[in-house]
Structure 1
């Protein structure tokens, strides 16, 4: 079964600092039909204005993955990390027993564009931790690249959950397949371009939940980038 989530059906917050789209209920956007998918709780697309961002705030017992698509996000947290996350880089922050952090766009004139993803961990009360890594565009060309996983395999970031994230960047007219386990759930998010997902057209911002399926087939109608989240 494939359940599609149209880009225009997402929640939206348009503020002076951030223009954000919410695939699932988040902050002031509440839709009881869309509270998450399995252990995937939040999938936000954030466009952060120059020189501003999210002031210091706290998290607990959540795995947070940030994928920067354009520009730069400056990160600071209570573990002592002060890092810049640039386009093509991915950050994983495990909040565990509690962490404070802030995020802002340090540019004076360029907007930053990022995805922020929250996954519920297998166990509560873990030790807070932080990781960051670059995944160059060429590595992702017409193939899946693992960016996060439970065991940190293939140089991916380590999640405290039996979950996996993969990115692929497709050339125009390229096709990509991936076997699926019918017992698991898969979320597909289109980051850019236009693709066919098992024969159905999807565009930038669209998402889909896949359950009970054995194969994912993607055919690129333009240059495109796709995120796949594999969940128990």
Structure 2
């Protein structure tokens, strides 16, 4: 079953310098029917104004994944890491026992479009870690590239949870098939463009909870960029965040 949710049905917050769409309940957006899916808790689709961003703030016991779609983010944290995350970069921060960090758009005239994704870890109060890696377009073009996994397979970033995250780019005649492992849930997020998945048309910002399906066929892409989450088959009811 593919439970499609359209972009316009997401939560929305206008903070002036930040325009944010929330796939799942977050901050002031609260919908008891949209409280994460399996261990996936947050997908925030953010547009950050030039020179603005998130000041230093804490996190604890959360796997935090940042994916840049346009622009850049300058990152600094209490572990001593400092970097500029650009298009093609993926960043994974395991907050563990506790960290603080800040994120700012360092560009003078261009907004930054990013996804920030939170995943519940499978252990608490572990040592915080930071990982960042560049993934070229060729590695994602017309295919699903494993970018995050619990075992670091295929040079992916290592996450403290039983989840595998794939990224793909699809345009024109490019096509791919994803065979869903037995007894797994999948979440699909379309970050850009449009494409067809199992005869359903998805536009930018659309998503889908996927249960009891054997495979997904991705086709008819129009500058589409997607993230696919392969997860434990659990129904969770996390507290409001």
Place the TM-score, normalised by the shorter chain, in its bin: over 0.9
Cα pair 1:172 1:224 within 8 Å, conserved: no
After TM superposition, the score normalised by the length of structure 1 is 0.98
Matched, 1:211 2:211: yes
Asked if 1:120 corresponds to 2:120, the answer is yes
> Where do 5+ consecutive residues of structure 1 fail to align?
none
Please state whether the residue corresponding to 1:181 is helix, strand or coil: coil
| 1:197 aligned onto 2:197 | yes
Query: What aligned pairs does 1:63-212 form with structure 2 within 5 A after superposition?
Result: 63-212=63-212
What does the per-residue CA deviation read over 1:42-65, in whole Å, with 9 as the maximum and x for residues that have no partner? 011011100000111111110000
In the TM superposition, structure 1's runs of 4+ consecutive aligned residues that sit over 4 Å from their partners are none
Shift of 1:194: 1.3
CA distance in 1, matches of 2:99, 2:208: 31
Deviation of 1:193 after TM superposition, in Å, equals: 1.3
CA contact (8 A) 1:182 1:211 kept: no
The number of aligned residues is: 232
Q: TM-score of the superposition, structure 2-length normalised?
A: 0.94
C-alpha RMSD over aligned residues: 0.9
Residues 170 and 221 of structure 2 are in contact (CA less than 8 Å); yes or no, is this contact kept in structure 1?
A: no
Contact 2:38 2:185 in 1 (8 A): yes
